[in-house]
């Protein structure tokens, strides 16, 4: 692995048997088109709003939307009925930093054939991809999934990165002026769902893009270094990616990743500067997407997000990618700095949350060991470790994320009239967040998917030629 490749990466920073038996008994085959009515009967409900668990309720789905929810829901004759007693129904999860490309050990490659199925298998029914290596391909993929041509989550995409010229990432085409930035936006306006600002953007470019995007009904997020988070919040940015790792007034711009980690390790979270920043973030309703899992996985002692993550790699890149990962972990003072910086990240996120700020859940799966779906479970676990309750973390991964993406009226909670994007899990994630990984069924717009089958389809496929 070259230094440049690592630098670029750091900058970008089951139960199938129950499902299959249920399908057999009710006549619903995995991945078939939605029937008129589907009833999930006698399940425990975590509705995504932060409300306590509601026990033994029925969710009635009609034509891809939630028709009714309650203890005494009348089930129409002919409905497909799933008995989910003892299981928990949650809204479909949302990955707010769900890229569709990855570093395969020395080069950036699209993961259009593999990542959508892995996301969906993990119960991630919606992703926001904040900037793509192949933005045209990502838009085409989104549209193909919505037409039902292939399985995958709902994709919201920012299309290309919006960055000043030159971008520090060679394949990102930067802009040289605010006028050029708006011209680029106009070229993409009708194809994108949001805007992603990157590390070399200027104040003039940012101001113009935020104003224009908002006037077109689009939200704006950023991985910022050239502009402080405080200043971006004043301009009206909607989201900040990567938490303290990309907030320049906390870890000085121009430093490399490891130098910044050592600055963050000594961060005084009680300082007036941090207090002022959190106040600004909360007052302006700027969402925080920490993506801490990507930094946590750099620690040599970190357990993988799933034990057999490498089963999804093609045989041709298995050995080279394992070697690539072995060269990443820090040592000595760098390792100590990273460990401390991750703890400061958790404390910062908890402080934002406790002050009323909006925290969401994203993963940034540019490294292939950040397996889509599983990486989101790990990020949720990290938020619990930070001090959020299980119900608060579930809300961050569902309703809070939906609101942040401007889709709170459509997805993110279990309520009549919303899309039937639902997952059924064994156990109760409100008691143990680890249970969110025990996905038995996935419904997207009322269409049933088998997690085990979806994952099986992509084994050995990442890095393969198509």
CATH code of the domain in which 141 resides: 3.20.20.140
Do 226 and 100 fall into the same domain? yes
Do 262 and 390 fall into the same domain? yes
**Other beta carbons within 10 Å of 374:** 24
Q: Which residue has the higher pLDDT, 52 or 12?
A: 52
Number of domains in the chain: 2
Q: What mean pLDDT is predicted for residues 355-366?
A: 98
Q: Which residue has the higher pLDDT, 436 or 34?
A: 436
Mean pLDDT of the chain: 92
Of the candidates 13, 22, 27, which has an alpha carbon nearest to the alpha carbon of residue 42?
22
Q: What was the pLDDT predicted at 329?
A: 82
463 part of a folded domain: no
Residue 9 clears pLDDT 80, i.e. is over it: no
Residue 12 clears pLDDT 80, i.e. is over it: no
Do 315 and 205 fall into the same domain? yes
404, 427, 444 — which closes off a domain?
Answer: 404
385 part of a folded domain: yes
Give tens-digit pLDDT for 203-237: 999 999 999 999 999 999 999 999 999 999 999 99
Residue 31 clears pLDDT 70, i.e. is over it: no
Q: What was the pLDDT predicted at 7?
A: 40
Residue 76 clears pLDDT 50, i.e. is over it: yes
Q: What was the pLDDT predicted at 1?
A: 41
466 part of a folded domain: no
Q: What was the pLDDT predicted at 267?
A: 95
Least confident of 193-207, 214-228, 311-325: 311-325
Q: What mean pLDDT is predicted for residues 263-287?
A: 96
Do 236 and 299 fall into the same domain? yes
**Other beta carbons within 10 Å of 367:** 24
Do 68 and 102 fall into the same domain? no
387, 404, 421 — which closes off a domain?
Answer: 404
Q: What mean pLDDT is predicted for residues 89-94?
A: 98
Do 65 and 132 fall into the same domain? no
DSSP 379-410: HHHHHHHTT--HHHHHHHTTHHHHHHTT-TTT
Do 291 and 423 fall into the same domain? no
Q: What range defines the domain where residue 196 resides?
A: 3-12+93-404
Give tens-digit pLDDT for 387-446: 999 999 999 999 999 999 999 999 999 999 999 999 999 999 999 999 999 999 999 999
Do 47 and 122 fall into the same domain? no
Do 44 and 146 fall into the same domain? no
462 part of a folded domain: no
Q: How far apart are CA 213 and CA 235, in angstroms?
A: 12
249 part of a folded domain: yes
| Environment class of 271 (CB within 10 Å of its CB; exposed 0-12, middle 13-18, buried 19+) | exposed
The CATH number covering residue 419 comes to: 2.30.40.10
H helices within 50-134, ranges in order?
115-121
Q: What is the pTM of this model?
A: 0.93
Do 439 and 330 fall into the same domain? no
Do 8 and 47 fall into the same domain? no
464 part of a folded domain: no
465 part of a folded domain: no
Q: What was the pLDDT predicted at 17?
A: 32
| Environment class of 321 (CB within 10 Å of its CB; exposed 0-12, middle 13-18, buried 19+) | buried
191: confidence class by pLDDT, cuts 50, 70, 90 = very high
259 part of a folded domain: yes
Do 240 and 349 fall into the same domain? yes
| Environment class of 332 (CB within 10 Å of its CB; exposed 0-12, middle 13-18, buried 19+) | exposed
Residue 465 clears pLDDT 90, i.e. is over it: no
Residue 87 clears pLDDT 50, i.e. is over it: yes
């Amino acid at each position: 692995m070259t230094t440049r490749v690592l630098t670029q990466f750091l900058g970008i920073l089951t139960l199938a048997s129950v499902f299959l038996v249920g399908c057999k008994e009710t006549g619903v085959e995995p991945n078939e088109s939605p029937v008129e009515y589907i009833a999930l009967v006698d399940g425990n409900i975590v509705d995504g709003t932060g409300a306590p668990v509601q026990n033994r309720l029925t969710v009635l789905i009609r034509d891809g939307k939630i028709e009714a929810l309650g203890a005494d829901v009348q089930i129409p004759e002919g409905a497909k009925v799933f008995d989910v007693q003892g299981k928990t129904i949650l809204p479909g999860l949302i990955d707010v930093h769900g890229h569709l490309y990855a570093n395969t050990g020395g080069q950036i490659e699209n993961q259009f054939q593999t990542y959508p199925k892995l996301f969906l298998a993990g119960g991630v029914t919606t992703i926001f991809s904040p900037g793509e290596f192949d933005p045209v391909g990502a838009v085409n993929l989104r549209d193909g999934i919505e037409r039902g041509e292939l399985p995958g989550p709902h994709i919201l995409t920012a299309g290309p990165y919006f960055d000043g010229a030159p971008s520090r990432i060679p394949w990102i085409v930067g802009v040289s002026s605010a006028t050029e930035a708006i011209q680029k936006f106009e070229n993409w306006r009708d194809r994108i769902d949001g805007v992603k600002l990157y590390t070399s953007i200027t104040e003039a470019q940012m101001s113009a893009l935020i104003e224009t995007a908002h006037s077109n009904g689009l939200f704006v997020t950023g991985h910022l270094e050239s502009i402080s988070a405080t200043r971006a919040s004043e301009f009206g940015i909607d989201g900040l990616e990567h938490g303290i790792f990309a907030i320049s007034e906390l870890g000085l711009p121009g430093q490399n990743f490891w130098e910044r980690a050592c600055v963050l390790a000594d961060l005084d979270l009680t300082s007036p500067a941090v207090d002022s920043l959190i106040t600004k973030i909360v007052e302006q309703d700027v969402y925080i997407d920490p993506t801490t899992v990507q930094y946590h996985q750099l620690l040599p002692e970190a357990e993988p997000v799933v034990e057999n993550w490498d089963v999804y790699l093609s045989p041709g890149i298995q050995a080279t990618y394992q070697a690539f990962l072995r060269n990443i972990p820090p040592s000595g003072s760098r390792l100590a700095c990273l460990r401390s910086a991750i703890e400061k990240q958790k404390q910062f996120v908890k402080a934002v949350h406790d002050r009323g700020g909006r925290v969401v859940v994203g993963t940034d799966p540019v490294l292939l060991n950040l397996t889509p779906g599983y990486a989101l479970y790990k990020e949720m676990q990290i938020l619990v470790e930070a001090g959020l309750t299980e119900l608060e973390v579930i809300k961050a991964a569902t309703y809070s994320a939906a609101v942040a993406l401007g889709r709170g009226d459509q997805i993110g909670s279990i309520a009549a009239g919303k899309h039937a994007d639902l997952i059924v899990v064994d156990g109760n994630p409100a008691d143990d967040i680890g249970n969110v990984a025990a996905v038995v069924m996935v419904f997207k717009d009322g269409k049933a998917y088998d997690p085990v089958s979806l994952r099986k389809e992509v084994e050995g496929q990442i890095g393969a030629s198509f």
